[in-house]
Structure formats: C-alpha cells, structure tokens
Structure 1
Amino acid sequence: MLLPSAFHPHADCIAKHLPHLRPSQVKGLALWVGATILARSRCHNAVLGALQSLGLGWHTPCQYLREWLRDGTDRAAPCRVPRDVQACFAPLLRWVLAWWQGPDLTLAVDPTAKGEALVALVVSVVYRGLTIPVAWRIKTGGQAEPWMPDFCDLLDRLDPAVPPEMTVRVLCDRGLQTPRLWAAIPTCATTGI
C-alpha cells in the first residue's frame, strides 16, 4: 500500500526522531498518525474513514493497519524481526523534549486497568494539563505481581533522554509511593513528588 503524499511529512518526521525503525514501520506509523490527525480521532473506524476520504478504500487500509499492529510472527506474512517497542521510549521522550520550553519536566507514573483483562503501566509527560505517554508496559490483569520493578525499568529506559541540567518531577498515586520507587527516581529525576 502506498503512503498518501499528504502523509510524507509525517513519515519524514518519524524517521528523523525514531531512526532505528525500519521503513515499513515508519510508513505504518505515519499512516496511523496522519489518519488520526485527519480524523481528529483515534477510533479505528474514524481513522479508516479518513483514509477512505483520500480514495484509499476501506478493506486494504483496514488490513494494512491491522497487520501493522501485530508483531513479527503474528502477521499474515510472518516476519522474523520482532518489534521492540521499548527501544522507542528514550527517542520518544527526546522528541518531546526537542520542542520543550523551560528547565522543568513533570512525569506521571500511572497504572490503568481495563477491567480484569489488562493493566497498562504508563509513564507520561505532563504538558498543559494533558499527558503524553512516552513509556509503557502492558501486563495481564488480575494477577498478583509487583508493578514496581516495571515502573523502575521504564524510568531507567527514559534516563538517557533527560538532559542532566533538567529538573524532573515524578507524580504518582499514593499507593505507588514506596521506598523502591523513590530509590529509582534519582536516576531519572532530581525531584520526586
């Protein structure tokens, strides 16, 4: 599937900030981002409607986007190279910091459950009352396993992207305030809240 010319700037920007991605990954991400912006929604059907308005039809983009979300061996045409999402975390934070103004950065550490099925452990940048997810880990819900090692690992993965002169504040729910998290924060942050 060809990338619409309107989405080429998105692909160029993604390739610049996430240079470790393969061309097919850049193309798929540019298609998702461009269509999401065009649709003003992250809803799958709205994204497909936006692509259809560009004359791309419905079924081909639907299958392409569905396949793009799957990992290597789960695709219709299996790929031996698994997608390493975690390799994107530090570059993603660097991308956010490239347009950041000011010496302070606030990160929010938050677990979000989808019923009993899944728990998303997310580290986000707080920006003008909104959050921009920059690191995450998806866990099976309803299991009694500690989250703290995962949050500490996510913060460690973001550490290389944070300039040493930047003051970082970490926000979390009271239930996450443990000595182990406070011990992990100084590697990535100078101030914990």
Structure 2
Amino acid sequence: MLKNKYLKQWSCIVSEHMVHLSIPEAVGLATWSFGMVMTKSSSLTQVSRFIASINQEKPNTVRQRLKEWYQEAEAKKGDKRCSLDVSSCFAPLLLWVMSLLPADIKQVALALDATSISNKFTVLSINVLLAGCGIPIAWCIVAATEPGSWKGHWHKLIELLKGVIPQQWNVIVACDRGLYADWLYELIVSAGWHPFLRINHQGTYQIPPDRSWRPLTEVVKTPRQSWSGRVVRFRTNPLECTLLARWDIGYKDPWLVLTDLEPSQADALWYGLRPSTECAYRDIKSDGWQWHNTRLLSPQRAERLWLAIAVSTLWMLMLGGEAENQSPPSNYQQLPNKHIVFSKPINPKPLRQISCFLLGFITLIADLLNGFSIHLPRWSAFPPTPVDAFYYSNSS
C-alpha cells in the first residue's frame, strides 16, 4: 500500500499511461521512478531506503519488492509470478511522450544510438530528441562481450514502434556514421519514417542523369559550404537517395547525410538534433540516475530497470521544458528561415544556463515545497533551441 500522497499521485499518472501493466507492475514502476528522481540515483539500496522512509515501511521489505520488480519470474517467491515484459512498454512510452508535446506539433525526431557501460553492457536505444535532450523510448541491452550482429535487435525495436506515430507526422531518424548500413536505411523507410543517416567521406556518388562517379570528398570542400541533391550512392548495391552536405566553421569534417526526403523538404541542419543523445546519456549517468555505477549483471534485469530510468527522464524533461516555456520566449521562431542565425556554426548544446533536464528537478522540488500536487502538464510551446526551432517550426 502506498501511504505517501505524492507517491500515490505519481502512481496514478504512471498507471494512466501504462494501462497494459498489472497493478503491481505499474506501482513498482511508479515507485522505482519516484525514488530515482528523489534520490537522483538508480541504486536499489538508496531508492529502497528512501521509499521505506516516506512510506513507513521496513527497508528490507521495500528492497525485496523493488528487486522482484525487475527479476525474472523464476527468481521470485510464490506461485503465479511473472516477468515484466519491458518491450510491451515501448509503444505506450512513445505515446506518452507525444501526448505531452504542444498540440500543433506534427513531427518528431528520433535517434538510434549505442552506449556502453564499462565492460558490462551495451545499450542499443531509440530516443526521442527534444529540447536538446533525449528520452529513451525503446532499447535492448546486451552483454558488452556478446558476439554477433545488432541487425536483429534494431529490427525488433523498430517493429515494436512501427505504426505508433500517425502517418501524417514527419519523422526523421538520425544515426551517426558508426551505425550506417543499407539495411538500416531500408528498415527505417519501411516503418514510414525518414532516415537521416550520416556517412563517411570515403567512396563515390552519381548525380543522375550523369553516370560518372564523383568522390564524396568533393561535395563540399571548405567550411561555410552546403549542398543537397538527388544522387545514387554506392557502386555495389546502389541506393537512390538525397545527399545533404554541410560544413560549418569549427568542425573538422562536413556532415554528409543520406535521406529519402526530397532536397527541398530536408536540411542538413536537422542532423544537429542527434547530439542530444549525448545529453541523454549524461542525464542517465552523472546528472541523473548514476546508471554507470550499476551493480546489475543481467542484461534482462537491466532492461527492466531502464524502463524506470526512461520514465524518470521523461518526467524531468517534461517538467523542465514547460518551466522553460514560462521564461521570456526566444525569438528564434520569429526569424525568417534563411536568417543568418541558421547559417552560423552549430553548437549541439543549447545556449542555456541549465539543462532542461536539471530544470525539471528544480521545478519539482519547488512545487513540492510550495505544496503543489505532482503533475505532468502538456507543453504549451516547444522549448527553444536553435536546431529544435528550425526543425519543429519548419518541417513539412
């Protein structure tokens, strides 16, 4: 039984958006995520101690309950126990994020990325990119030393989200050079989304109807240059696509990005959203949940704990984003599309004194000290960062 009123309020919000979970699963998710936020830690010991203190329970009782939440069925005591199917939460999690965006938003940016935790795990994740931050919405965790291709994992993750976002929405999916593959490009297109995949500078391309092959190193030769056009890429297994190129001052190399969008419908600047994934890892690790210190050894248990990490991240980012909307508005959205601000070197980090994620913590603490209820409002506008404003205000 939940005794603390704020934990009860958060449990109701979680249950409202995760209706497919059983009551124990939803309460466990709410308890884990509430404890993570309040302790800024994903440590079982710290979270269980905190929950026991506010819920008037014995620490060991809470610890066992929280531990069983991410354990497999055979490790739990009692009959008719089951394992939490974390993959069933990916679509509801994405819908939850979308329900909190401004009502006029009809596009979203996703990123596929991989991150390692020392020699324990490799996390393959799909993140929603928002306000210079990222929210994990689907993931797979494998042992860091596990051999084999990641193709099957990415295919499963994308299939689990396929059809969740309305067809009329514009969805770009960004990946860095290390993940590029022709099958990934095709997989993203088959989901009804638009790949935004960065490629290396080696190799050649054609500009139809010219059949001569040109080196990619000559697309843009110096900083301050950009180019876009329909091309054929790769001599072997040729791919007809759009090539976007942009080289900003301060960058060692230009961005070369492949997409299925027409050149007039896309801008290489949108790739500037992808570094938000790095901010997401910072939030999940040092700024937030101290995930890099995890003592878990099982990838399956880690995947379930990541559900609480994702929900905690969503909570803080959404609170911080709406709090930022209460500040004096940026004038980015009032600027013409060709304004010089969009031609300047791209700074992946938003020009803020504090991240949207950390602002969420401050907002929550202030609300609780002022006696306000736990709430998660819909954003009234999109928190302004240069690249976010350019993509979310100008996509077709």
TM-score of the aligned structures, taking structure 2 as reference length: 0.46
Residue of structure 2 in register with 1:23 after alignment: 23
The equivalences for 1:17-166 within 5 A come to: 17-54=17-54, 55-77=56-78, 79-101=80-102, 102-166=105-169
1:189 deviates by 4.6
Q: Is the 8 A contact 1:72 1:78 kept in 2?
A: no
Q: Verify: 1:169 aligned to 2:172, yes or no.
A: yes
Decide which moves more: 44-53 or 131-140.
44-53
SS at match of 2:92: helix
Point out where structure 2 has 5 or more consecutive residues left out of the alignment. Answer: 197-396
Q: Is the 8 A contact 1:111 1:119 kept in 2?
A: yes
SS at match of 2:142: strand
1:74 deviates by 1.5
User: For residues 44-70 of structure 1, what are the alpha-carbon distances to aligned partners after superposition, in whole Å with 9 as ceiling and x for unaligned?
Assistant: 343234324313342221111111111
Query: 1:187–1:11: structure 2 CA closer, same or farther, 3 Å change rule?
Result: farther
1:27 deviates by 1.3
Q: Is the 8 A contact 2:124 2:140 kept in 1?
A: yes
Decide which moves more: 85-94 or 181-190.
181-190
Cα RMSD for the two superposed structures? 1.9
CA distance in 2, matches of 1:130, 1:42: 19
CA distance in 1, matches of 2:86, 2:188: 22
CA distance in 1, matches of 2:132, 2:26: 29
1:191 deviates by 2.0
1:80 deviates by 4.4
AA of the residue aligned to 2:146: Q
Which of these residues, 163, 178, 183, is aligned with residue 181 of structure 2? Answer: 178
Decide which moves more: 50-59 or 98-107.
50-59
Query: 1:69–1:160: structure 2 CA closer, same or farther, 3 Å change rule?
Result: same
Decide which moves more: 113-122 or 15-24.
113-122
Decide which moves more: 138-147 or 47-56.
47-56
SS at match of 2:148: coil
Q: Is the 8 A contact 1:167 1:189 kept in 2?
A: no
Q: Which has the larger radius of gyration?
A: 2
Identity of aligned residues (%): 27
Q: Is the 8 A contact 1:105 1:168 kept in 2?
A: yes
AA of the residue aligned to 1:15: S
CA distance in 1, matches of 2:144, 2:175: 20
Point out where structure 1 has 5 or more consecutive residues left out of the alignment. Answer: none
CA distance in 1, matches of 2:190, 2:2: 40
CA distance in 1, matches of 2:113, 2:156: 14
CA distance in 2, matches of 1:65, 1:82: 13
Q: Is the 8 A contact 1:51 1:57 kept in 2?
A: no
